Amino acid sequence: MLVNGKEMRSLWYEDERLKLIDQRKLPEKFEIFEAKSVEDVAYAIKEMVVRGAPAIGCAAVYGVAMAEDLERAGKMLKETRPTAHDLFYAIDTIMEKIKNGEDALECAERYTEEIVEKCRKIGENGAKIIPRNARILTHCNAGALACVDYGTALAPIRIAKEKNLFVWVDETRPRLQGLLTAWELEQEDIEHAIIADNSAGYLMYNGEVDLVIVGADRIARNYDFANKIGTYEKAVVAKENEIPFYVAAPLSTFDKNIENGNQIKIEERREEEIFSIYPWKPKKAKNPAFDITPAKYVTGIITEEGIIELKN
Ligand code: MRU
C-alpha cells in the first residue's frame, strides 16, 4: 500500500519485534506500535491496534513465533477476538508447522507473504467484475490495513482503478473503520466520498450505486457470512434495488466446520465505543461488532482461486 507515496505494509517483523501501523491513531496520527512479546501481540489484537481478519491472523502467527510456550500462546491469542476465522486458522496452521519441526519465524514470514499474495489475486479476480465508471459502495475497512497489503474488498478497486472508479465509503460506526478506507483511497488517489452509514440505502434507491463489495470475517459452508455490523442491511437494500453485492475474502476466511451463519460467534464490544463521541453518557448501549448476512443476498464471493457465483 502507498503511504505518502512510499510502499508499506500494515505490519512487519524487524529487530526482534512485530511492528504495526497503529490503526487506533489513524488517520490523525501515523504511529508504529512495537510488540516485543506474545502478550504485546495479544494486546494489539484485542485493542485493535491491528484489525481486519487477515491482518490479525498475520499478527497472531508472529505472536506464536515470539512465544516460548506454544500452547499458552495459542490459547492467549485465540481468546483475543472471537469472530474472524483467519485468526484461528492462522494460529492452528503455524502451531502445526512448528510442531513438525519448522522454524517458527520463517513460518510466520511465509504465512504473511502468502496472505499478501492471496489478496493480490483477489484483486485480479475481482477487477474483472468491475465495470468502467462504476460507483462502488464498501463498508468497514477491508483494505491493505486490514490485510497487510492490497486488501480484500479494496484490492479489486485498486487493481481496476484505471477504469475511472468512484467509491462510496460507509463511515462504519462505532469504530469508524470507514475513515481508514477513506485514508487508504486518498493515498492511492482513488476518488471517493465518505457517507454516514444511514445514507447507503438512500443512495442505492436513487441509482447512485452500481456495485457493492465488502470483506468478510467468517464464511459458513452455505456461504452465509459475518462481516462488520451494518453489512446485513446494505445487502438487503442492494438486493431490493437489484445492485450486485460481492464479498471478497481469502479461503482462510471460510470455516468448513460450520453449516450456516447462525453458528458464528458475534463479538460484543464495550459500551464506551458507542458513547465515546457524546458529551452526555446514556445509561446503556449495545455494541455487537459484526452481523450475519444470509447467502441469498450475495451475488458472488471473490477469492484468490476465482469467483464463486451464487446465482442470486
Ligand atoms: O473489527 P474489525 O475492524 O477487525 O473488523 C473486521 C473487518 O475489518 C471487517 O469486518 C472487514 O470487512 C473484513 S476483514 C478484511
Q: Whose CA is nearest to atom 9 of ligand 1?
A: 228
Query: Which residues are annotated as catalytic?
Result: 217
Look-up: residue for cell 502468502? 114
Q: pLDDT tens digits for the chain (312 residues)?
A: 999 999 999 999 999 999 999 999 999 999 999 999 999 999 999 999 999 999 999 999 999 999 999 999 999 999 999 999 999 999 999 999 999 999 999 999 999 999 999 999 999 999 999 999 999 999 999 999 999 999 999 999 999 999 999 999 999 999 999 999 999 999 999 999 999 999 999 999 999 999 999 999 999 999 999 999 999 999 999 999 999 999 999 999 999 999 999 999 999 999 999 998 888 989 999 999 999 999 999 999 999 999 999 978
Q: Is the CB of 130 under 6 A from ligand 1?
A: no
Asked whether this chain's domains 2-118 and 126-309 adopt the same fold, the reply is no
Answer whether 152 contacts ligand 1 (Cβ < 6 A).
Answer: yes
* Assigned CATH topology for domain 126-309: Rossmann fold (3.40.50)
C-beta separation of 268 from 288 below 8 A: yes
Q: State the DSSP string of 125-192.
A: HHHTTPPTT-EEEE-S--SHHHHSSS-SSHHHHHHTGGGT-EEEEE--TTTTHHHHHHHHHHHTT--E
DSSP state of 29: -
Give the C-alpha distances (Å, rounded to integers) separating 74 from 57, 58, 116. 12, 13, 23
Ligand 1 centroid distance, CA of 101 (Å): 33
Domain boundaries, the chain: 2-118, 126-309
pLDDT, residue 278, reads 87
Q: What is the topology classification, in CATH, of domain 2-118?
A: Four Helix Bundle (Hemerythrin (Met), subunit A) (1.20.120)
**Integer Rg of the chain from CA:** 18
